[in-house]
Structure 1
């Protein structure tokens, strides 16, 4: 039997990049795990900001109207990028990877689990969009379970017109910055918030938000799935998280193993040790009966 520890591949959420995992990565590596992170296509080093974002004086109206330079980025591109990272991680591990996705990154890890279930020991959603087959991220946002989310108040411009859902991580008034913190980082220190905000990019391409989830019981459903619920979340409210868990369980079959953190939307910043402990615990759980394993468990 192999003694290699399962590697992790991390997928960041909307408007974020791979730096989101900087506090978690060293904890997992210290326990002997390989950790791979990446900037998704259209994110981090792979994004292009609207020209109006850097103009001074800043013109909010121009920023709200300028077409997105990354409007053509597709969900398929993002899925392919993460599949490549999973294959890389599998080659240095024992052939089985723990795939972790935050927030909108949940759409990508679902697609990857459907494509390469044989390479995954588990898929883990951190306040993630785990969306039933046939629905998109934008289709589930209007559900009443999501109605208390603060993050839509951050959106700038018309997504249909500019080709992306846009936020303003740069020059903004005090009320907007306060809403940004409340939405994503309510329990994060001011220093960490300032750094996290400086790493955000403007646009999330519509291709990712509009692409329907395509998951099946035979492939996605064969992978042990975990959901880390964030109880103080104002971007993906707890009731919305629970709605998605129930919807996927009822349509795919089996039971999502749930874990709970009393945190905001960004526990990788506010509670990296507690989050890492859950991830390490997942790494030692036996996936002998993938579908339905751990039914009713909450750690």
Structure 2
């Protein structure tokens, strides 16, 4: 591990909140990545904003990235599922490095995540279309049976119950707002494909990998986990091991 490890910033998934990533941050601590940020995205909450939710998500992520860079620490970004879309726009006007200590974004790790092209919303980016398990109620979306579609490999009943309890409504507007940029293409990227994901299909994940391979200025790294949609809960140690290797390679 490098003397001064980077700060890990996680752009969390739709319907999720920072509490879903506690097991993973504990695993990061174990591998020496002790600085991390998981900003709560406004689009996912008990009362998400009806309008401009996506723009608010972008603003929160941009502020977090800038704050970490100006502290002088490098940053590694993890995008989980929907988080890949606002993260791409948040990166759009982030400098490649800062004047103070030359802090920089080391790269982007997509975990079963959406890799947006310019002008693509979540609905347009998915090759298989809108998920049948997403239910719309007015200006919000909810998950039908999250245990089966999001946490289907999580065998610990107590952990499963807690994960389901932490699920939040998602602003419908966040799913229809298009990304303005594909700024991920200017950074080293990696994709973690979750092979037992019942939420984002293998077809969709391979479609995202193909985008990285076609447009990223670096050859992307691709890894696989025998995981459901949220390896942050079901396989935190394995995912942390992949992340620390990516950090070492980036250095």
Q: Same fold (TM over 0.5)?
A: yes
Q: Who is 1:205 aligned against?
A: 171
Do structure 1's residue 21 and structure 2's residue 6 form an aligned pair?
A: no
Q: Is 2:141 the partner of 1:165? A: yes
Partner Cα distance (1:4, 1:214) in 2: 33
Alignment correspondent of 2:94: 116
Q: Tell me, yes or no, if the aligned pair for 1:117 and 1:222 is still in contact at 8 Å.
A: no
Q: 1:281 to 1:208 in 2, by over 3 A?
A: same
Does residue 1:222 correspond to 2:186, yes or no?
A: yes
Tell me how far 1:192 sits from its aligned partner: 1.2
- Cα deviation digits, residues 155-208 of structure 1 (max 9, x gap): 3346xxx223233xxxxxxxx54xx22210111122111101111112x22332
- Preserved CA contact (<8 Å) 2:6 2:33: no
Task: Describe the superposition over 1:62-108 as per-residue Cα deviations: whole angstroms up to 9, x where unpaired.
Answer: xxxxxxx62124322111101111122224453x2001111111112
Q: Is the aligned partner of 1:106 residue 2:84?
A: yes
User: Aligned equivalents of 1:186 and 1:29: distance in 2?
Assistant: 26
Question: Where do 5+ consecutive residues of structure 1 fail to align?
Answer: 49-68, 168-175, 288-299
Task: Call closer, same or farther: CA 1:117–1:270 in 2, change over 3 Å.
Answer: farther
**Native 8 Å contact 1:4 1:93 kept in 2:** no
- The structure 2 residue matched to 1:274, chosen from 205, 221, 238, is 238
Instruction: Identify which range, 34-43 or 97-106, moves more after superposition.
Output: 34-43
1:123 to 1:157, Cα distance in 2 relative to 1, 3 A: closer
Question: What residue number does 2:49 align with?
Answer: 70
Count, aligned residues: 241
Secondary structure at 2:174 match in 1: helix
Distance 1:21 1:93 in 2: 25
| TM-score, length-scaled by structure 1 | 0.74
Aligned partner of residue 72 in structure 1, secondary structure: coil
> Contact 1:7/1:34 (CA < 8 Å) preserved in 2?
yes
User: Runs of at least 4 residues of structure 1 off by over 6 A?
Assistant: none
Determine the C-alpha separation between the residues in 1 that align with 2:79 and 2:60: 14
**How far off is 1:139 after superposition?**
1.2
Please give the alpha-carbon distance, in whole angstroms, between the structure 2 residues aligned to 1:73 and 1:20: 24
Counterparts of 2:136 and 2:185 in 1: how far apart (Å)?
A: 37
Residues 1:244 and 2:220 aligned together? no
Q: How much does 1:269 deviate? A: 0.8
Matching residue of 1:185? 151
Q: Report Cα offsets for 1:103-125 as digits up to 9, x if no partner.
A: 11111222222231524111111
Structure 2 equivalent of residue 4 of structure 1: 4
CA-based RMSD of the aligned residues comes to: 2.2
Which residue among 78, 82, 86 is the counterpart of 2:65? 86
| TM-aligned CA deviation for residue 283 of structure 1 | 1.0
Residues 1:135 and 2:120 aligned together: yes
